[in-house]
Structure 1
Amino acid sequence: MELPFDSGSWERKRNAGSRGRITIDTKHEKFKGTQRTPVWPWQSWIVVEWRNPKYNTWHVVYAGVITEASYEWASKKLTLSHEDIWTIFSKRIVTTDRSNDISSSKVTWTNLSKATMIKKIIQNITNNFGSPLIYDLPISLPADAAGSEDMTVYGYNFDKASDLINDYIEDDEGPDIDFRPRWSSEGTLEWVMEVNANKTRVWDYDLDVDKSSVENMNYTLSGAYLVNKMYGTGEGTERRTLTRQSSSDGFPYPALEDAEKFSGMKSLERLQSATTGARRAKDGAIRQLDMAVRADGSPALNELALGGSVRWKADKDSWLLSGWHPFELIGLSGDLTSEVVKIETQEMEGRSSGA
């Protein structure tokens, strides 16, 4: 069903979930006779498509499940809040028993890569294991890959899929993950799990040319969250708590410490990897570049993909450094009433492996 919107927003993030809103005028001719069911929370998805005017082709850029519907009587406006597929991962428990015996259950995976562990988690939470509820999700998954990762999940911990997925993403040398929405060959909505995808793809934005696709840009250099020594704690209490630390080497900063809890983590090897990953995610100043670009520019919106490299230069600018600068594309967002989209890119200064 095509919805006649007054306004709306969408957003996609690499390695994370996102959300948006859409406001509908229920007096619109296209909305007359529409039942409440198609816009009922957790029963319908908002799919945002964009038409490339050069080729007259349509492309899915976002899909989010409706989580709330708010109606204002005076204006007859209906506002729908929606969240992408990551929100479902936060509402699924990893287990092989969805009955009263869940506390006795456990599932073990061994000798797999971090990305394949995430795949196994997704496969688990899309299996009902005898429950009458709907667990299936149409996700196209990559092939298994061997590795050194082992994991056992115990039912009595009631671990959420989102937490376990994030643990692997945030691990030292953890994978970049995206669940890209698309139409299947049968015309139904599905997602593709992409792992470290688009790393070789590069898109250029030259801010010096007269007809640049860039409408505006905002450059931020931040060290607000910089940490060069991280402590990580796992299972246990007080003096019996498993602990590991990770330090940077060679950075010209004063000691900046922090600690993170990895509750329930039993393996010292996994705890060390998690602690190092948490430190490496913060062990350098972050350069962030947000650009407002025309969706029909070069590159066009449908050509951009999370995880690729955005190269930019602004040699004529009096403050920015000259030359081409490659940043990683970590976010895309848009307004349904505008042909300008926001691309979020980021670069961190050289990170040390540390200890």
Structure 2
Amino acid sequence: MLQNERVYVVDTITGQKMAELAVTDFSYKRVINGMGPGSATVRRGDSRNHGLNVRFYTKPLRYMLVYEANFKPVYAGIITRRKYVKATGELALELKDVWWILGKRMAVEHGTNAAAETILTWSGLSLGTIIKKLIQEAVWPARPWYALPIVFPADVSGVHSRKYYGYNFATIADAISDLMATSGGPNVDFVPSWSGEFLRLTLRTGSLGGNVWEYNLDAPDPGIYDVAATEDAESITTNAYSLGEGSEKNMLVRSHPDLSGSLPAIEKTESHKDISVATQLDALAQERIRTQAVPTEQFEASIRKDGEPGPNGEQVIGLPTVDQLRLGDTILTLNDTDEFLPTGATSHQIIEFSGSMGDPMVTLQFQPTGA
């Protein structure tokens, strides 16, 4: 069961919990490998905010809002914009999670006046650990106002190496995207949690496997609703060109065609101007073909955010409340009657979930894993 839903103001730099904020609406979206937006509305004169300087504690960038359910953070978003309308007495807040600020930090050595001349270099590590190192460079330089409340895992050794030349001024988010898009690249998530009175965002990299939630689509009440399946060929690629450092005839280029010949040829290019190593470009092209040589198949469905209470109000075993969901969790569906859905037992990975305080449902987006 869902015991409570609350919103808290926290300091963006330190993660310190500052105050509880009463809102009339709060919506959020958690997204694997990318930025999740959110929004909140505060009404002027709300008695629940009596004594709280709402205007101060909703300053853009300085503060984040955290949506909590069952005393656990579900979503944390930096306030990036606010708009007050006097006629309605409503203050609208736009939120973006920590991915947004990583898109505003550069993959350079900080604390120097010659950032363009710096080189960040790592070797003998996993791709996930190189992602960790990039983020640490972005949040742990000497200047404290670069800090963010991120918790890092231990280093993992591997066979990968990377160099980031300052003169490219690649953003941290773009550098991470290249690593995720590499053959064998990891998924990435920042999991919110409380540590006393402080918000912590724990970096997770890898397959992000976690809980398994099973739904029998043939059951009278399957616990999962409004199931929809989409296949989209818009991003399909049968020959990927990765464009690296250099220009004109001196540009480093690697391509990787799909040789099966089962579909009409679709060619696409991707620019990676900060990459000067041919094998790294080739790995990006290979991964593009591996993931996009066929139409993307994606499912959408809704579940109850209170975990589908049983007849006596108890939580039904095996059905999650919203605070138990994790990006990367497995959705196992069973179907033997609907010819337009995969038959038998099919494994999927949650790539997105979203909801709002006023809605009893949570919307899931998930993709087949092939398991």
TM-score scaled by length of structure 2: 0.87
2:276 paired residue number: 266
1:149 paired residue number: 160
**Deviation of 1:323 (Å):** 1.8
Contact 1:286 1:347 in 2 (8 A): no
2:356 paired residue number: 335
**Which residues of 2 match residues 11-90 of structure 1 at below 5 A?**
11-35=29-53, 36-51=55-70, 58-90=71-103
Asked if 1:218 corresponds to 2:231, the answer is no
2:116 paired residue number: 103
1:166 paired residue number: 177
**Deviation of 1:151 (Å):** 1.8
Contact 1:197 1:308 in 2 (8 A): no
Contact 1:286 1:349 in 2 (8 A): no
Using the alignment, how far apart are the partners of 1:301 and 1:251 within structure 2? 43
Using the alignment, how far apart are the partners of 2:246 and 2:117 within structure 1? 21
- Give SS of 1:47's match: strand
1:247 paired residue number: 257
Between 259-268 and 199-208, report the one with greater CA deviation: 199-208
2:5 paired residue number: none
2:132 paired residue number: 119
The share of aligned pairs that are identical, in percent, is: 29
Using the alignment, how far apart are the partners of 2:253 and 2:107 within structure 1? 25
What letter is aligned with 1:153? Answer: Y
What letter is aligned with 2:346? Answer: H
1:55 paired residue number: none
- Give SS of 1:151's match: strand
Contact 1:284 1:348 in 2 (8 A): no
Using the alignment, how far apart are the partners of 1:96 and 1:230 within structure 2? 32
1:282-335 C-alpha deviation (Å, 9 max, x unpaired): 112221111111112213223321112111134343533432221111011111
Contact 2:238 2:266 in 1 (8 A): yes
Contact 2:302 2:363 in 1 (8 A): yes
Using the alignment, how far apart are the partners of 1:261 and 1:136 within structure 2? 30
**Deviation of 1:13 (Å):** 0.8
2:241 paired residue number: 231
Using the alignment, how far apart are the partners of 1:321 and 1:195 within structure 2? 29
Q: 2:296 aligns with which of 267, 286, 303?
A: 286
Using the alignment, how far apart are the partners of 2:303 and 2:173 within structure 1? 32
TM-score scaled by length of structure 1: 0.90
What RMSD, in angstroms, separates the aligned Cα atoms of the two structures?
1.9
Between 199-208 and 108-117, report the one with greater CA deviation: 199-208
Q: 2:217 aligns with which of 203, 207, 211?
A: 207
What letter is aligned with 2:359? Answer: S
Contact 1:232 1:272 in 2 (8 A): yes
Asked if 1:91 corresponds to 2:108, the answer is no
**Deviation of 1:277 (Å):** 1.9
2:7 paired residue number: none
**Deviation of 1:198 (Å):** 4.3
